[in-house]
């Protein structure tokens, strides 16, 4: 009994000491914790509290019956989605568009940042940065309006030029063969400059003496790029890649909602636009929620897998 009491007292003392140490650390950085508090409150209210709504995915939700009284249906909503006639079409479209955006849209900001970083003329560098990241602040409604003005088959700028050279006009925005290229291209145009900002910040943190030593050793620009620049921003690339993988099934609702139509839906209809039609237009709220949970589970698996893969090749990066 004495040994048990002594062990209990020791554990209690250890817990008290640990708590006191943690409290001292909190008080030491209390200003930083106070600055963090609004962000924590935001996440609790708008991210964690709404997670109780996941229950709707397992119910046949009826607005009249309410949240708690709607009947349970188990996994029926998930089965209805997976066995639905449109499942493979919207999944293939979503995955294809997301992968294309990942392959081209993820690399483009890195290339742009590397090119801007090599510019030595200050005013030209600032001008390029401003011109490339301004489209980020344009809504997809305005961006689509610009695309209509450029690509309209009747009086679009591109088709007018094609007509002058004796070519047949092309209805770019309504042909399935063009829609994915337009989605990827417009997404790159809109986000490439904004994405390059993070890489430019990482490039600014590379020690200039490394480049000086490399030049003294006779390393070419390509050697410096491969052995100094890219390794210097490798961790940023990996972290951003993990973030992009977490949203692999988010092909971009705002953009595709504006660009999708009856004529190109076979190549542009994605999960989010389908959920919009089912959940908002047809009021199948339970089915729409189930699809959201389905996407979240896949995103979680991809994030965990990508993080483990990143640690395997690059060590702990967090």
* pLDDT tens per residue, range 36-55: 888 889 989 988 888 888 88
Distance, in Å, from the CA atom of 181 to the CA atom of 14, rounded to the nearest integer, reads 62
Q: How many Å from the N-terminal Cα to the C-terminal Cα in the chain?
A: 45
pLDDT of residue 5: 55
pLDDT of residue 41: 92
| DSSP collapsed to 3 states, 143-196 | HHHHHHHHHCCCCCHHHHHHHHCCCCCCCHHHCHHHHHHHHHHHHHHHHHHHHH
- The two three-digit tokens of residue 217, written as one number: 């050793």
Q: Which residue has the tokens 């089915």?
A: 287
User: Average of pLDDT values for 211-232?
Assistant: 85
Find, among 268, 75, 72, the residue nearest to 180 by Cα.
268
For residue 21, pLDDT beyond 50: yes
Three-state SS at 62: strand
Distance, in Å, from the CA atom of 89 to the CA atom of 290, rounded to the nearest integer, reads 18
Distance, in Å, from the CA atom of 69 to the CA atom of 63, rounded to the nearest integer, reads 10
Rounded to two decimals, the pTM is: 0.78
Q: Give the mean pLDDT of the chain.
A: 84
Distance, in Å, from the CA atom of 179 to the CA atom of 259, rounded to the nearest integer, reads 8
Distance, in Å, from the CA atom of 169 to the CA atom of 29, rounded to the nearest integer, reads 65
- The two three-digit tokens of residue 300, written as one number: 């979680």
Judge whether 263 and 176 are in contact, CB under 8 Å: yes
pLDDT of residue 140: 92
Helix spans in the chain (H): 2-28, 30-43, 66-69, 76-82, 87-100, 107-118, 122-133, 140-151, 157-164, 176-204, 208-216, 221-224, 230-232, 234-246, 253-259, 265-268, 271-276, 285-314
Judge whether 173 and 147 are in contact, CB under 8 Å: yes
pLDDT of residue 280: 82
* Alpha-carbon distances of 3 from 10, 11, 15, 103, 158, rounded to whole Å: 10, 12, 18, 63, 87
Distance, in Å, from the CA atom of 4 to the CA atom of 10, rounded to the nearest integer, reads 10
Q: Looking at the DSSP assignment, which residues form a beta bridge with residue 62?
A: 66
For the stretch 194-205, pLDDT in tens is 889 889 888 888
For residue 169, pLDDT beyond 90: no
For residue 318, pLDDT beyond 60: no
């Amino acid at each position: 009994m004495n040994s048990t009491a002594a062990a209990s007292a020791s554990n209690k003392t250890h817990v008290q000491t640990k708590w006191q140490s943690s409290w001292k650390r909190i008080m030491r950085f209390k200003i930083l914790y106070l600055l963090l508090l609004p962000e924590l409150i935001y996440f609790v209210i708008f991210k964690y509290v709404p997670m109780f709504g996941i229950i709707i995915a397992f119910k046949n939700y009826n607005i009249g019956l309410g949240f708690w009284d709607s009947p349970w249906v188990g996994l029926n909503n998930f089965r209805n989605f997976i066995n639905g006639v449109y499942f493979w079409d919207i999944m293939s479209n979503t995955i294809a568009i997301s992968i294309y955006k990942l392959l081209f849209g993820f690399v483009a900001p890195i290339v742009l940042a590397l090119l801007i970083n090599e510019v030595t003329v200050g005013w030209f560098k600032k001008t390029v940065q401003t011109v490339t990241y301004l489209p980020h602040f344009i809504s997809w409604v305005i961006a689509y309006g610009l695309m209509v003005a450029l690509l309209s088959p009747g009086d679009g700028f591109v088709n007018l030029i094609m007509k002058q050279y004796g070519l047949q006009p092309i209805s770019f925005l309504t042909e399935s063969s063009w829609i994915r290229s337009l989605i990827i291209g417009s997404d790159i145009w809109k986000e490439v400059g904004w994405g390059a900002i993070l890489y430019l910040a990482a490039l600014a943190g590379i020690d200039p003496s490394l480049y000086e030593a490399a030049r003294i050793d006779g390393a070419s620009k390509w050697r410096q790029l491969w052995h100094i620049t890219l390794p210097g921003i490798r961790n940023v690339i990996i972290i951003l890649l993990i973030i992009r993988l977490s949203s692999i099934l988010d092909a971009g609702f705002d953009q595709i909602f504006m660009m999708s139509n009856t004529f190109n839906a076979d190549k542009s209809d994605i999960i989010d636009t389908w959920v919009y039609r089912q959940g908002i237009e047809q009021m199948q709220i339970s089915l729409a929620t189930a699809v959201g949970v389905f996407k979240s589970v896949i995103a979680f698996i991809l994030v965990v897998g990508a993080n483990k893969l990143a640690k395997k090749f690059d060590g702990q990066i967090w």
